[in-house]
Every structure is written in structure tokens, then in C-alpha cells.
Structure 1
Amino acid sequence: MSHQVTVQPSGRQFAVESDETLLDAALRQGLTMPYGCKDGACGACKGKVLCGEVDHGKAQPHALSDTEKAAGLTLFCCATAQTDVSIECKQIRSASDIPVKTLPSRIEKFERLAPDVMEIHLRLPASERLQFLAGQYIDILLKDGKKRSFSLANAPHDDAVLQLHVRHVPGGVFTDQVFSTMKQKDILRFNGPHGGFFLREESDKPIILLAGGTGFAPIKAIVEHALAEGCTRPMTIYWGARAKQDLYQHALPESWAAAHAHVGYVPVLSEPQATDAWTGRTGLVHQAVLDDHADLSGFEVYACGSPAMIDAARADFLARGLPEDAFFADAFTFSTN
């Protein structure tokens, strides 16, 4: 049996099943509420039940006292709805609302997505969760004090395991290890989340999502988040790569476009190989956007890729009428030091 939850003061509503917590149901449906451990221990998700009945679940006494329960407070990571409920909770709308943490993680799995692209799955300690906005990144902390930045490829509601898309940079201190000596169950420390590259949910403008290479990672997270929260704004994904093998998760945006009328997908290859038998778009990926849109004044653009791609897209899109404050970008830089 499901119940309806109304969140105040935003007025947002979502459904919660009898066997899931209020927090899990909210995250599953794309609502960003504050949380920390997701285990009833830290109190970060504490909020008030304005009306209705909840079961407090496994909330630990030091995080939620009997006095607080009597005052109508609960931990949303543990509470399950017994009736329709109304709760008071601030929804996260900006990166500044989320604490930055330094955490250990264990490599759970490697998956080779392309000859030079590896997906790393990182599992956090059982008592920890990383709250983030779709599109943000983390800094992997290396033993010599240096760091490497990678966007999170998973959406916030799917946070049990963090996904990174790592392209091999020959001679790169970190990526050489990823593709040679690093192994399952190794420990990686990171700091995050970071960055202002995330979906502005208060807008109703159609969205152009521009990705170059592994710049697809945060675009993937943004799209999966938008679909989870039921966003119906028109979204078109332009993904540029050299050859077909570099569109390493080509079937995924194809499936989004096939399943959702408001989602489009335009893959673009700059150097297709003869063996690709490519009949799609070719050239520079940002040029494909220009070819499709004479006027960008009514759009928002989210672009992630090389600095050269970002700079060219910004200049050319603004010349087509895109407002400067409607261009959001994350430029990838690579270091071998």
C-alpha cells in the first residue's frame, strides 16, 4: 500500500510505499532532501511531521531522542509512512546546501566501456553516503597530495555505488594505475562533491545537453535525475566522439529517446572509421547544435568536454542568442603529473 507525502514549504508531493523510507521514496522520485549516513545515526535528515503518522524505524536514540519524537520530529532515512503525511523539510537547490566530505571508498567493480574508458564503481562505508547534485564531481586524493577530478556518472537517487568514467591518459599517474595495477577492493579516498554544474530545476526552458567524450558522465547523471523526478522539459543530448567505439554507452541515450517523447539524442563522430559504417552526423558536436538551431535564445545549455569544445560552444551559442546565464559548463582537463 502506498501513501502520499507532501513536503512543506515547497508543496511538492510524492508517493511512498509501505516498505520504503520517506527519504528513499523522495530520492527515487528525484526530490533532493538533506541526508548523511542514511542509517539513522547522524541526524542530518531530521525533520518535522506536520500531520499524519510515521514509524520511526531504526532511528538511534542519540540522533533522535524521545523528546524530539514527542515534538513531531523524525529521521526521514528511517521513517516509514503509516498514513498520508505532511512533512517540513528544506529541499536542496544549490551546491552550497550540501556538505563537502572526505571519505574512503572501496573499488567494487571495473567495467571496460571502451578500449580507453573504464567505469569504476566505488562503494562507501556502510555508515556513510555522499549527497550530491547530478552533474557534480569528486576529487580522488592521491598519496603524493595531488588530486584528480572526475564527474559522478550516477544520479543522486542511485547513490549506493558511485560511478566514474575514467579515460586513459598515457603517462597519467592515476589513469595508468587504473588501466594496469589497480584492482578490485583497493581503497580510494576522495573529497566532494564539488562544482556548479547541475540542473537548474526552477527553469522551464528546453535543454541542450552537450557532451564530448567522457563528458557524457555528468550528462548521464543529469538526464537520469531529470527522468527520475518526472521532468518533462524537452531535452536533446548531443554526444560527440572520434569513432563509434568512443560512444561507449551509445545504447543508453538511444533507449532514453525511444522511451521518452521529450528526450532526443544526436550522436556526432568527428573521425568515423571505415569499419564503423557510420551514416549519422559527422564533424564537431557543437556545430551539430548550430546546424539544428538558428536561434538559441529560449534554451539552456549544459556542456561538458574539453576546454576547446567548451570555449567554441560558448562563443558560437551566445552569438546565436543564448543568454550568457543560460550556459552551464564543466571543462575537462587532463594531467600526467
Structure 2
Amino acid sequence: MTFQVTVQPSGHQFSCEADETVLAAAIRAGVGLPYGCKNGACGSCKGKVVAGKVEHKAHQQRALTPEEEAAGLSLFCCATTNADLVIEAREVAGSSDYPIKKMPSRVTTIEKVAPDVVVLTLQLPASERLHYRAGQYIEILLRDNKRRSYSMAGASADGGPVSLHIRHLPGGLFTDQVFGTLKERDILRFEGPMGTFFLREDSDKPVVLLASGTGFAPLKAIVEHMISEKSPRPITLYWGGRRPQDLYMDALCRQWAADLPQFTYVPVVSEALPEDAWSGRTGFVHQAVIADLPDLSGHQVYACGAPVMVDSAHRDFVQLCQLPSDEFYADAFTTEADLAK
């Protein structure tokens, strides 16, 4: 059966099949509901069910607590329905501007930039173009219908290579392959672009970029997009890692800071060893933001990395720094281990 979903306050409507999630139906219809992981782990697609009822597939309680569900909130990425719905969600303009498509790609380089991080470069077929918004991601298509999501680490490829930053998770279905058997000229298939984590260009507010680990990848794309567009908006990048080696493109960030008067770079290390000889900022990266910018009421924040960092930043920036909640944009990186929790 087919049901109708109405989105408030826009009034947009789309059809949803009985076995289809609300988010999947919205994407199919070109309706820009916010989303990130698509598997019930990050909470980006959370909205309210105003009328009707949904059933949730497996998801993390961190993303949708029982109390939130009882209050009528829903994770649309894992919500199905057997009746017409009215939902409330903040739609994202421009999220469906570029069509999602599947395509093959050829591995051109596998560059190890840290002990557990490689930059994987994929060349598209000569006849294909991948247009996307800086900050979006693709899904690598694996065996048995499994997928792994990675943000694109550069501005729109437009026929050029796609760059991904991949951290090794021992035992990971895809990362073991990348760090073990994958070689140049191998073929990988992917689908994209996906996600609603990208720069809101209808604002002139200063931008705070907050990354942990390879969460730097989509923020790098956003910075490069802003540079190419000659955006005058002030940008402050906070990048956190356990040790200095985790800030695997530190030199590039320092070069941006030297070349761009509107760009500030703050590296933060939480677990430096004596042999690292680290003399910079220490502690949790989001707490460095709080120390430097106690008033975020006039800023936009784009955060990407471990879910615990993203959740802590959202909570503390809103509660302690007066950041409007709807000016916090996030892409929480989730792993198989996260999904099992």
C-alpha cells in the first residue's frame, strides 16, 4: 500500500510505501529532509510525528531515547508507517539539487598519511560527472548489499578524482581491504552524493568548523569550496586528535591560516606522549571552542567526527555559549561498532 506524508511547515507532500522508511521515500521524491547516517545512529533525521503513527526499526537509543519517542519524536531513517502521516521537520534547501546515482570508479592512489589513515583517490569514468555539495558523502557498495559511507574531502569533482579519508578500524569489512588487499587500478562502485551536511550559503555568519580525526574530510571540502567562492565569512577550524599524528594534514591547515586573513586554525591534542613534544592546545577539542568563543550566538557551527564529540559539542554550545540549536550542523561518523550499541 501507499501512504501520503505531509511535511510541516512547508506543506510538501510525498508518497511512502508500506515497507519503505519515511526518509527513503522523501529522498526518492526530492523532499529535503535532513539526514546523515541513514541507519538510526546519528540522529540527524530526527523530527516530530504530528499526526499518524510510525514504527521504528532497530536504532541507537542515543539517537532517539524512549522519552523522545514517547513525546512524538521520530528517526525518519528507520521509521515506517501503515497510514497517512503529518510530520514536522526542518527541510534543507538544495539537498536534492544533485541526483543520487551509482557509478564505478578506479582506484588511482592509496596514500598513507598517518599510521591508521589513508587518502584514497578514485577516478570517475570519462563519461561521468559527480556534482555534489562540499560536505556530502558517498556510499561504497560492497558484497552482500553492504555499504560504507565516506565524506568527499574536496570541492565538487565535476569529472575529476574523488578523494576520501579512511581510518583503519581493525576487523572492518572495508577498511581491512583498504589497508590490506586494495591496490591501484582496482574498481570500486559507489552511490552518491548523499547527506545534508554542507554549508548554508544564505547566511553571512562567521563559521566554526569542528572536527575530530577523519571528520576533517568534509570540513576540508567546505573550506576549499569557500576559498573557490571567495567567501568573505570568517572561518575558524578546530581539529582534535589523540596525538599530533592524528592531525594528518596539519601543514595544509597552517598554510590556509598563513594565506587567508579570514581563516584561523586551532589544533588540539588530547593524549600527547612525551615523545610527541606537543606544545599546543590540549584537552577535548569542543572545550577549546568554549574557552575561545564563549558567545556563539552569532555563529554557525559545522561539526564532524565521533558521535560523543558531536553530541557533547551540541549540548554545551547551546547550553553554555548561546548557540541557536538550529545553527548547529553535524555529521557524526558511525561505525559497525556504533551500530551494535
Give the TM-score normalised by structure 2: 0.71
Call closer, same or farther: CA 1:131–1:115 in 2, change over 3 Å.
Answer: same
User: What count of residue pairs does the alignment treat as equivalent?
Assistant: 246
1:259-270 matched pairs, under 5 angstroms: 259-270=259-270
Match of 2:330 in 1: 329
In our comparison, the structure showing a higher alpha carbon Rg is 1
Unmatched tracts of structure 2, length 5 or more: 1-91
Deviations 1:19-65 (A, max 9, x none): xxxxxxxxxxxxxxxxxxxxxxxxxxxxxxxxxxxxxxxxxxxxxxx
Q: 2-side partners of 1:274 and 1:217: how far apart? A: 28
Structure 1 position 157, deviation (Å): 5.6
**1:1-337 equivalence runs, <5 A:** 94-156=94-156, 160-319=160-319, 320-335=321-336
Deviation at 1:159, TM superposition (A): 5.0
| 1:95 Cα offset (Å) | 1.6
**Residue type of the alignment partner of 2:133:** L
TM-superposed deviation, 1:109: 0.7
What SS does the aligned partner of 2:102 have?
Answer: strand
Hey, what's the Cα distance between the residues in 2 that align with 1:283 and 1:189?
Answer: 39
The secondary structure found in structure 1 opposite 2:210 is strand
Q: Which digits, 9 at most, give the CA deviation of each residue in 1:128-175, with x for residues without a partner?
A: 011100000000000221000000001116750000000000000100
Q: Give, as a single letter, the amino acid of the residue that structure 2 aligns with 1:259.
A: D
Instruction: Label 1:108 to 1:157 Cα distance change in 2 as closer, same or farther (>3 A).
Output: closer
SS in 2 for 1:203: coil
Distance 1:323 1:153 in 2: 27
Matched position secondary structure for 2:112: strand
Q: Which amino acid aligns with 1:101?
A: K
Identity over aligned pairs, percent: 58
The answer to whether the 8 Å contact 1:157/1:225 transfers is no
Supply the distance in 2 between the matched residues of 1:316 and 1:222 (Cα, whole angstroms).
24
Deviations 1:162-193 (A, max 9, x none): 00000000000100010000111111100000
CA distance in 1, matches of 2:315, 2:199: 21
Give the unaligned 5+ runs of structure 1.
1-91
Separation (CA, whole Å) in 2 of partners of 1:218 and 1:116: 18
Letter in 1 for 2:150: F
The alignment partner of 2:301 has SS state of strand
CA distance in 1, matches of 2:134, 2:152: 8
Q: Deviations over 1:260-295 (max 9, x none)?
A: 110000000000121211111000000000000111
Q: State the Cα distance separating 1:117 from its structure 2 match.
A: 0.2
Question: Secondary structure in 1 aligned to 2:204?
Answer: coil
